[in-house]
Amino acid sequence: MAESMPSRAPRRTDKTPPAPAIQVAEKPVNVLVVGVGGQGVIMVSKVLATLCQRQGYQVKQSEVHGMAKRGGSVFSHVRFGETVYSPTIPLGEADVLVALEWAEGLRWLSYLKPETGIFIADTQQIVPPFACRNRQHGAGSGYARETVADVIAQVANCYAINAGQIAQELGNSKAGNTMLLGMMSTTLDFPADDWREAIRMFAPPKAIDINMQAFERGRDWVETHDPADLDPNQGGDQPAPIVEVMHEAEFELPVINRAWCKRCDICVKFCPERCLSLDEEQIAVLHAPEKCTLCRICERLCPDFAIDLKYKH
Amino acid sequence: MSEADKQFNIHDYLREYLFPHFLCPGCGHGIALRALLWAIDELDIDKDRLAFVSGIGCSGRLGAYIDANTFHVTHGRPLAFATGLKLARPDLEVIVITGDGDCLAIGGNHLIHACRRNLNITCMMLNNEVYGMTGGQVSPTTSDDRFTTTTPYGNHEPVFDACALAEAAGAGLVGREITLQTPSLKDVLKQGLAHPGFSFIEVMSDCTEVFGRKNDLGSSAEMVLTQKASVRPDFLENAVDQPFRPHQIKTGILASNDRPEYAESYRNHIDAMKRDHGHA
Ligand SMILES: Cc1ncc(C[n+]2csc(CCOP(=O)(O)OP(=O)(O)O)c2C)c(N)n1
Ligand code: SF4
Ligand code: SF4
Ligand code: SF4
Ligand SMILES: [Mg+2]
């Protein structure tokens, strides 16, 4: 079976650098898939593992999703070849690193093979709340400031695009994962139809069409771009865009019940964003709603139950 | 219902027609009441099973505002009433709300024996160092040198450590927290409610209007902050005692044991007696 993995088909024009070649030799091929909770890291690695198995390889997959529910790191090692012993990829041994989130990708870069490793990344950033210096919902952060250009300079092969946004344009941002699978499909020489079939097995039935389109878009990107090309969608020399801050705004702005407020000033003094004050009648008002982070401290500390943040759902 | 669907809404637990409540502006008792109701909500205790027993005082008055079964009883005796209630109706979740005066002065005797019996009752004592309701007399927890209407030269009586007392008397679980740490206070109360024996939870509350004013302790916000500076959470328990800060108080769960719960052991005992001695 080993011979059936020749280097990737030469689809490129003369201008493009030689394609990265992944061989299944006596050592297994290592693919590391990383992201944060809820993104579909496990789905991506299952598609790959199933596909490899169907190609007749031995596959080992191991995953860690400890803090997944809290927006923490999720990663999955997929190793396949004639014989695979250890389920985990050693440092500096990954042939492909697939990152569903930019900062997670950066975190795992040292796992890539320095000379030949291929980095496939969605440049979207999902920032956990504790990394936000400005606690405002939806605000930016100083999180993962490395630009795509910075990373291109560091790794052998880098394909970084704003897959989430492109998939959004196709109708479902979640299909960004499948776009990355499309990109990956060009680096492992399995028949494209086998990839499509494996994706069909794991994509939600309603989203199969969008996922198929996303898969083609991913393949197209690699075929038409150099690894060093920057995604015009996002200006690759800028820090990656933040698409989502993990904490959702689940509450509405604080509402103050004027009839119950006793002017004690506690909410005013303890609001971390200083957005409350006492008005001319000495009753609490939210004078700077734009600064409110919905932290609910005012609600908790009001001894008079005069502040409510209504739950949205 | 999933965690996300169910969000604590304090208004589900209040007798809104009695609001605004009678507490003075900034009184810490209100924050403590929220923490208690929040803990109850998280434990998803059916309102019909909730029975609050409270004594006399600003603290005791809180019971009136809760939309559940509430008994507002005589000064110092909520634990005595609660004991009877729990023995007769072990199916109820019996919660006592009391003050430092109510629980340690006139009711101190009842506290000792409630701890000794270890009935499954949760006792939340709001310690504001003073008899707030009656205008600010000294209480067993008034700190050294504090002025009250009955200590015009400053208090010189030694202070009762209510948690140490409860622990020594055998309470199943003993905890303490300040109001500013509302989520931790809620968690301590939750553990108290979940504990199968007698739980004694001391809340460091503050009487801003009477005690704060008399002792020049600043605004309500300042009083709460001062409290925060004087606690040492239980996770720092092993820290070296700081010689220049003798007033540092421990917070968190301070003691627990698994002594038998009295209502259950009492019933078992009666059953055994009937069986062994042929009583009907
Ligand atoms: C038998 C009896 N003695 C005295 C009183 C007067 N009294 C009412 S409340 C109170 C003290 C309350 O202090 P505390 O329990 O600390 O409650 P706080 O108001 O401080 O919350 C006293 C002595 C009473 N109501 N009944
Ligand atoms: S904490 Fe409550 S009572 Fe005090 S000023 Fe704010 S809204 Fe009014
Ligand atoms: S929720 Fe309340 S305390 Fe928090 S930022 Fe908004 S106004 Fe301030
Ligand atoms: S007198 Fe003190 S304890 Fe009573 S309501 Fe006023 S501030 Fe609170
Ligand atoms: Mg008191």
DSSP string, B263-275: HHHHHHHHHHHHH
- Decide which of B221 and A313 is more confident: B221
Tokens 């169910």 locate to: B6
Is the pLDDT confidence value at A301 over 70? yes
Query: Residue A235 has what pLDDT?
Result: 47
**A311–B9 C-beta distance less than 8 A:** yes
Check A303 against B4: CB less than 8 A apart: no
Cis peptide before B20 (omega within 30 of 0): yes
Task: For an interface test with A, give the residue of B1, B3, B21, B185 to mutate (most A CBs within 10 A).
Answer: B21
Q: Are A157 and A117 in contact (CB under 8 A)?
A: yes
Q: What is the pLDDT of residue A139?
A: 61
- Output the six-digit token pair for B232: 């040492």
Which residues of A have a CB under 8 Å from any CB of B? 250, 259-260, 262-266, 268-270, 300-306, 308, 311, 313
Distance from the Cα of A282 to chain B's closest Cα (Å) equals 12
Distances (CA, A) of A211 to A163, A168, A259: 12, 11, 54
Report CA(B128)–ligand 3 centroid distance (Å): 27
The answer to whether the Cβ–Cβ distance between A313 and B4 falls below 8 Å is: yes
Q: How many Å apart are CA B43 and CA A145, to the nearest integer?
A: 43
Instruction: Give the ipTM of the model, two decimals please.
Output: 0.90
Measured from the CB, is residue A273 less than 6 Å from ligand 3? yes
Residue A309 has pLDDT above 90, yes or no: yes
Question: Which of A265, A306, A308 has the CB atom closest to B221's CB atom?
Answer: A265
Q: How far is A240 from chain B (nearest CA, A)?
A: 31
pLDDT in tens, B48-64: 999 999 999 999 999 99
Tell me the count of A-B CB pairs closer than 8 A.
66
pLDDT in tens, B97-120: 999 999 999 999 999 999 999 999
Q: How many CB atoms lie within 10 A of CB A57?
A: 23
- B224: nearest CA partner in chain A: A266
User: Taking residues B6-10, what's their average pLDDT?
Assistant: 86
- Report the distance separating Cα A272 and Cα A292, nearest Å: 9
Taking 3-state DSSP, the helix, strand and coil percentages for chain B, each rounded to the nearest 5, stand at: 40, 20, 40
Q: What are phi and psi of A33, to 5 degrees?
A: -110, 125
Mean pLDDT confidence for B85-90? 96
**CA A47 centroid distance within chain:** 17
Q: How far is CA B97 from CA A122, B54, B56, B123, B179, in A?
A: 55, 5, 10, 6, 15
Q: Which two tokens stand for residue A265?
A: 């000033």
Ligand 3, atom 4, lies closest to the CA of A295
Query: Would you state the pLDDT for residue A40?
Result: 87
- Confidence label for A102 from pLDDT (cuts 50, 70 and 90): confident
* Pairing relationship of beta strands A73-81 and A58-64 according to DSSP bridges: antiparallel
Q: Which residue on chain B is closest to A297 by alpha carbon?
A: B182
- Taking Cα atoms as reference points, which of B253, B233, B127 lies closest to residue B188? B253
Tell me: pLDDT of A136 over 60: yes
pLDDT digits (tens, 9 = 90+) for B74-85: 999 999 999 999
**pLDDT tens string B260-270:** 999 999 999 99
Determine the pLDDT at residue B178.
94
pLDDT at residue A153, rounded to an integer? 82
Cβ-based burial of A214 (10 A; exposed 0-12, middle 13-18, buried ≥19): buried
Q: Is there a contact between A301 and B31 if contact means CB atoms under 8 Å apart?
A: yes
Residue with tokens 């559940």, as numbered in its chain: B68
Q: Tell me what percent of the residues of chain A surpass a pLDDT of 90.
A: 49
Which carries the bigger pLDDT value, residue B95 or residue A220?
B95
Q: Is the CB of B132 under 6 A from ligand 1?
A: yes
Could you tell me which of A262, A112, A281, A248 has the C-alpha nearest to residue B20? A262
Place of tokens 């990954």: A94
What's the whole-number mean pLDDT along residues A22-38? 84
Domains of chain B (ranges plus CATH)? 24-276 (3.40.50.970)
Closest residue CA from atom 6 of ligand 2: A267
**Letter string b/e over residues A182-204, b meaning 16 or more CB atoms within 10 A of that residue's CB:** bbbbbbbbbeeeebbebbeebbe
Question: What confidence tier does A149 reach under pLDDT thresholds 50, 70, 90?
Answer: confident
Structural domains of chain A sorted by starting position, each given as residue range(s) with its CATH number in brackets:
29-229 (3.40.920.10), 246-308 (3.30.70.20)
Relative to beta strand B173-178, strand B249-256 is antiparallel
Asked if pLDDT for residue B233 goes beyond 50, the answer is: yes
Residue A271 Cβ contacting ligand 3 at under 6 Å:
yes
Reduced to 3 states (helix: H, G, I; strand: E, B; else coil), residue A135 is: coil
State pLDDT tens for residues B127-159.
999 999 999 999 999 998 999 999 999 999 998
Ligand 4, atom nearest to B23 Cα: 5
pLDDT score at B5: 46
Among B4, B179, B220, whose Cβ lies nearest the Cβ of A265?
A: B220
Say if strands A242-245 and A276-278 run parallel, antiparallel, or are unpaired: unpaired
Interacting residues of B208 by C-beta distance below 8 A, sequence separation 6+? A264, B24, B25, B26, B27, B28, B217, B219, B220, B223
Q: What are the strands, taking DSSP E only, across A86-166?
A: 96-99, 118-122, 125-127, 157-161
B101 lines ligand 1 (CB under 6 A): yes
Q: Residue A6 is which amino acid?
A: P
Q: Given this model, what pLDDT does residue B121 score?
A: 98
How far is B185 from chain A, CA to nearest CA, in Å? 11
The average pLDDT across A74-103 equals 93
B27 touches ligand 4 (CB under 6 Å): yes
Q: Which atom number of ligand 3 is nearest to the Cα of residue A274?
A: 8
Closest C-alpha to A311, from B1, B9, B44:
B9
Short-list B132, B168, B151, B159, CA closest to B58: B132
Are A262 and B25 inside 8 Å of each other by CB?
yes
Residue labelled with tokens 């119950």: A260
Q: What is the dihedral of CA A257, A259, A264, A266, to 10 degrees?
A: -10
For ligand 2, the distance from its centroid to the CA atom of residue B185, given in whole angstroms, is 20
- Distance set, CA B215 to CA B142, B168, B208 (Å): 12, 32, 10
Residue B241 predicted with pLDDT over 70: no
